[in-house]
Chains A and B, each alone.
Chain A
Amino acid sequence: MHNKTIAELAAGLRAGEFTSEELTRAFIERIKAHDDRLNSYITVTEEQALAQAREADQRIAAGTAGPLTGVPLAHKDIFCTDGVRTSCASKMLDPFIAPYDATVVRKFREAGAVMLGKTNMDEFAMGSSNETSFYGPVKNPWDLGAVPGGSSGGSAAAVAARLAPGATGTDTGGSIRQPAALCGITGLKPTYGRVSRYGMIAFASSLDQAGPMARTAEDCALMLGAMAGFDERDSTCAEQLVDDYICGLNNDLKGLRIGLPKEYFGEGLDAEVAGAVEAAVDEYKKLGAEVVEISLPNTNLAVPTYYVVAPAECSSNLSRMDGVRFGYRCEEPKDLEDLYKRSRGEGFGPEVKRRIMVGAYALSSGYYDAYYLKAQKLRHLISDDFKKAFEQVDVIMGPTAPTPAFNLGEKKDDPVAMYLADIYTIAVNLAGLPGISVPCGFVGKRPVGLQIIGNYFDEARLLNVAHKYQQATDWHLRTPEGF
């Protein structure tokens, strides 16, 4: 059962081949049997999952089921889940039980999906390797000596090892697409504002976006259909109708205009990754697409710009972690200032502290114009590059990450080297565009991802373009040995 996609599981449930309770038990058993090697879950919610599964079985029997009713899924531990620990992989929130559901969680619950548990991640989603988690690193199921990517590394590893058929993720600078690439699964970062951020613990509010992670584009389409839509509780959520992401999946790609940015194939790109991506582009040519070289001239500014905007917003967002109203509080504070300083000093890990300090510095008196304002201007230039490109092409393609998964520990003590792992994904967040990563090959044992970037609210096309490739290739069906 665990090898089936979400679409196949949904069909099996509907046809009565198995019940949601049987399916849920099977995944819980797999998590118990295999996750000690991966550490992809922080919390497994076995009892609630089985109760939800039994309810789903009743809905299926009563004929009131939707497409996801009875399908087990996992949520990144950044989404608030009523009555369940929501840690954001931080010591700061280790004691935090969320008092309400995030909109994404509520929507999946109402659709009848079963929550298996909460997945591991980089602390407060700050990281590209899942090594900053308070609960320890996640391992890559393809190679246990490699990182799974981050920050949604637990979700990516769990889906790749088939410890969940699908999982939610969030993407602020590549945190869905990069781990999807490194773990050989499909992950979609929607347009900014497509999915509600309510109840999703904020990192950088002008960049954060939730999206689906699954084995196929079709499964991502099913999940996005349930997640997307306007929400009054998120003031930046787009008042835009949700497309039917399923009906266009098989649209013909004849005449599709693909742009290849020359800046995405230059220095720093691993030769074998480049080869896999070029082979994928050739496959698209066979499907009738036209390929043109384009330029995104400000590409090299994306990482520096991001490392002002994201830390500035995080230093502001994380000021709510003060040891007073929820979360970790230090022992025996001698006064209020000591309470703030030690609760935060002891509760946050080193990478979170670095980013808070960079942000506090960039926003401090005398530096605001040189850093934050400058970065917001550059953001405009980066965004304009994409606008111009989309006058010429329908989608943009390139590698998701410059290298396959790196070794655990390899970049842990070098933040700048780590930041450059997101060089091809970050600009998409700065511009607010949607992007998807699709498995397109391997370097040795380690998977490679093809990134496809679309115009605003063009998720249906991205899913169509990804799905057609998956109909013609089988990279997404490969499974890691031992799982």
Chain B
Amino acid sequence: MALDKSDVQSIAYLARMAISEEDVPAYAENLTSILTLVEQMSAVDTSGVEPMAHPLEMAQRLREDVVTEENRRDHFQQYAPAVENGLFLVPRVIE
């Protein structure tokens, strides 16, 4: 599975990650070699094998739907890049 430049750009878009134009060929090469490594999986017949989602096959623990955390918004927001009146600031989304 060889990836070309446009594949890298579309994967980078899926991940919302800016990749500079000059770095694209190196990513294409590295990702191709990783996917070639991963391709070894296809040699094995896995029909009838259950996918393993949890190493100990444990079920997810459930709890009562009650509030257990206190509100610590100010504490958490003190390290945010930009906040105002308890809100996280981002560039204008709706004109």
Contact = CB atoms under 8 A, between A and B. Distances in A.
Q: What class of interface size applies to chain A in its complex with B? A: 35 or more
B57 to A, nearest CB: 9
A378 B46 contact: yes
A410 to B, nearest CB: 16
Contacts of A206: 53-55
Contacts of B76: 99, 325
Contact of A344 (B17, B44, B92): B17
B38 interface: yes
Contacts of A378: 41, 44, 46, 49
A419 B37 contact: yes
Interface string B42-62: 101010011111111010110
Interface residues of B, number: 51
A361 B91 contact: no
Contact of B52 (A346, A354, A379): A379
A327 B14 CA distance: 21
B34 interface: yes
Interface in A308-364: 308, 315, 322-329, 333-342, 344-346, 348, 350, 353-354, 356-358, 360-362, 364
B31 A357 contact: yes
A341 to B, nearest CB: 4
A442 interface: no
A392 interface: no
Interface stretch (A169-177, A244-252, A278-286, A296-304): A296-304
Given A329-B82, A345-B18, A383 B55 contact: yes
B55 A358 contact: no
B66 interface: no
B34 A354 contact: yes
B56 A370 contact: no
Interface string B13-34: 0111111100100010011011
10 contacts: A192-B55, A207-B55, A238-B56, A336-B91, A346-B18, A356-B17, A357-B11, A357-B15, A431-B55, A432-B55
Q: When A and B form their complex, which 4 residue pairs have the shortest distance between CB atoms, in order from nearest? A: A432-B55, A345-B18, A376-B51, A329-B81
